[in-house]
Amino acid sequence: MKFSSVYPLHGMPRQGQLWAWISFDVANQSFTLIINTLLFSIFFQEIVVRDSARDDVLWNLTYAASMLLVVIASPIAGAIADERAWKKQCLIGTGLACAALTCALGLIGPGQIWLAVLLYIPANFMFSIGENFLASFLPELTAREHFGRVSGFSWACAYFAALLLLVLTAGGMLAFDLASPGEWRPFFVFAGLWFFGLALPTVLFLRERAVARSAVPGSLFAAGFRRLAASARETTHFRDMATLLVASLFYGAGMSVIIMFASILAKEFGFVEVQLVLFVAVITVSGIAGTLIPALFQDRLGHKRMTLLLLVVWLGTTAAFAVFAHMRECAADPSTVSAWPLWVFGNLIGFGLGALGSANRAFVGYLTPANRTAEFFGLWGLVFKFAAVLTIPFGFAKDAWGTTSALWVLFAFLLIGFMLTLFVDERRGLAAAKATEQNPTVLANPPD
């Protein structure tokens, strides 16, 4: 079998640019995995907070506060980046700042809640808003009919990087006896250095094709707000994009819950130290498989159909997980309840997390006018990051009523996202985007 027959980017132009873009997806994986998903959440709760009565809520509020800042900043930052053609400068600036702050997390000591909050919130802000700028490059790199393939392959590369990071983390724990949370600070420094190193190809080689539209001194924020005002007036003409973004708000909340609470839930069900790393590794391997589904099929099957199918998988998994949690809570001795279903749920959750994230990025790109990518992906960032704020009910439900109730809250979010996605008309949304590209000064108004 020839390599070209299985290489998803085979035949596409600008291979160097595609790989320079993918490199940043690989770079920021160290923050997603080591900080948000695997280690820092537990370190924050057990070493920094040290109070089981409020650790879930404090972690939830800290994460949500950083996301709220992204919600506020994303639309105007995206509009300004489009106006001045600053997508690359914003991407690199936020990435390097996040890497530096990630290294600084290694300075946090026991009980230093305020230091943890003051370092983590800007770090996660920089990481999250950087994701918006990264996604906004997609329409510049390839044709619309390849968005699913490119986005999916890039996410698959990021998941392979996550798997390597897990191997290195587990190896570090075993080789240097760093199994307990109080000894995890070197991993935070390593995560920042990984981010620095893998972002270098993006810094050196990625090129922005957009041209600045305005260079009037002092008009930076005014120009950004003018673009946002125009977008607000055009909401009815981009109603399918608007519906997709609202749907993304709800199932994005589900994705944020997994990122924030995966290791916490696994530890609650009895997984510790290296076993915890292995569980996250299972989620990661399944995520790799999940990202390949959009890469191989989304462009042919359709973005809406792919999204709905993936949501069905997540709805079924969440419901089954809630039933399992209830069985464990009702058992006289929870340790007698077999843990094997948790490994199944881990595989399905990882599959859905990788596939749904990649599919959503490609779907938004498909409905985005090529001349307004940073602006629209800024709105995407606003919605997806506000979804993290919606995880607060999950955290409160978990602390107040237990894991089972919290999982049914998660199910409700996913169900609302599924129902809203049914109302997206993919062809009408594409027509609106193309009309805006052909005549940017006239509102798109395609026929129903």
Q: Is the pLDDT of residue 101 over 80?
A: yes
Query: What does the alpha-carbon distance between residue 149 and residue 173 come to, in Å, rounded to a whole number?
Result: 36
- Domain membership of residue 223 (yes or no) is yes
Domain housing 257? 14-206+217-435
Joined together, the tokens standing for residue 19 give: 């790989």
pLDDT at residue 228 in the model: 57
Joined together, the tokens standing for residue 271 give: 């997984």
pLDDT at residue 448 in the model: 46
Mean residue pLDDT of the chain comes to 82
- Domain membership of residue 5 (yes or no) is no
% of the chain residues with pLDDT over 90: 29
Give me the CATH number covering residue 200: 1.20.1250.20
Q: Note the pLDDT tens digit of each residue in 180-231.
A: 889 999 999 999 999 999 999 999 999 987 666 555 445 556 655 665 566 5
Query: What does the alpha-carbon distance between residue 251 and residue 314 come to, in Å, rounded to a whole number?
Result: 9
Q: Write down the pTM of the prediction.
A: 0.75
- Domain membership of residue 8 (yes or no) is no
- Domain membership of residue 149 (yes or no) is yes
- Domain membership of residue 3 (yes or no) is no
Q: Is the pLDDT of residue 307 over 80?
A: yes
Query: What does the alpha-carbon distance between residue 276 and residue 270 come to, in Å, rounded to a whole number?
Result: 9
pLDDT at residue 446 in the model: 44
Query: What does the alpha-carbon distance between residue 358 and residue 64 come to, in Å, rounded to a whole number?
Result: 22
- Domain membership of residue 1 (yes or no) is no
109: helix, coil or strand? coil
Q: Note the pLDDT tens digit of each residue in 322-345.
A: 888 888 888 777 666 677 777 787
Query: What does the alpha-carbon distance between residue 169 and residue 30 come to, in Å, rounded to a whole number?
Result: 11
Q: Note the pLDDT tens digit of each residue in 16-32.
A: 999 999 999 999 999 98
Find out whether 346 and 286 touch, Cβ atoms under 8 Å.
yes
Number of domains in the chain: 1
- Domain membership of residue 448 (yes or no) is no
Query: What does the alpha-carbon distance between residue 40 and residue 30 come to, in Å, rounded to a whole number?
Result: 12
- Domain membership of residue 76 (yes or no) is yes
